[in-house]
Amino acid sequence: MSNFLAPADLAKAFVGVSKAKAGKSFAQLFVLGILAGVFIGFAAHLATTVATGWTIGGSAALFGLKKFFIGAVFSTGLMLVIIPGSELWTGNNLMMIGALNKDITFGKMLRNWGIVYLGNLVGSIFLAWVIAKMSGLTGGVVGGTAINIAYGKVAATVDGGTSHNMMYFFRAIGCNWLVCLAVMMAVAAKDIGGKVLAIFFPIMAFVTSGFEHAIANMYFIPAGIYAKTFPDAVSASGKSLSTLTSLNWGSFFTENLISVTIGNFVGGAILCATVYWWLFVKGSK
């Protein structure tokens, strides 16, 4: 007997997953969404801490290895989401399989997405406030890292004429393509060790590659906004307060979250869920 689901059986399993998610109440979805935002936030703070201090002689050292370790620890977030159970908007893009197969309505899918997305936002910002504003953990060098991560997400530029938002849109496509594959692989695995391994590699890959995840950014950017209220953190970031004026609640949405959310939708709901529905589920009930 196989200890994992074959691709066709796995894709069809998401019809049942979609129906179960569509049947939850507003309160269940909202609270589970808050939990997922908190769980991803825990992993984001861990990644921020691991990202701190990798310099030799003032220049970045071991760039790829640093990114690998950041990605490795960030995978903890999806493990917490999948195994104890919660509702993550990016993973719920796989509900498109049930909607396309007419086992749930598009209205029920969009209801789930809207409630869960709001819950993810509340949970992520709450944890950012707890850790970056109230705990004292971002008052020094870790705070400097939090600021630099957040600033990079709202003020990054690229050569070649690509706009900031378009750049982040395409980075977000690759991210949720991998996240949804990680969710599918975790569902395919029938034991907890298999689920951990199934989650680890795709999540490590998306973070190490530099892709963009909307729910992670709901923690990273507010954490940087809160951290810049500490002079020691600003000093550790190597930036001035005048430079950091572009890191604010408005730019959080307009310079990152909107474009990343749309890109995540394309990667997860279209390139992953729709393709697997067409390949393995279409025409079946």
Query: What ranges in the chain are assigned the alpha helix state H?
Result: 7-22, 26-50, 63-74, 76-80, 96-100, 106-128, 141-155, 164-188, 192-209, 214-227, 231-237, 249-252, 258-265, 275-276
Structure tokens at 61: 């050292």
Domains of the chain listed by start with CATH number: 7-281 (1.20.1080.10)
pLDDT digits (tens, 9 = 90+) for 161-171: 668 899 999 99
pLDDT digits (tens, 9 = 90+) for 149-196: 999 999 876 666 668 899 999 999 999 999 999 999 999 999 999 999
pTM of the model as a whole: 0.95
- Residue 248 in this model has a pLDDT that exceeds 70: yes
Q: Of how many residues is the chain composed?
A: 285
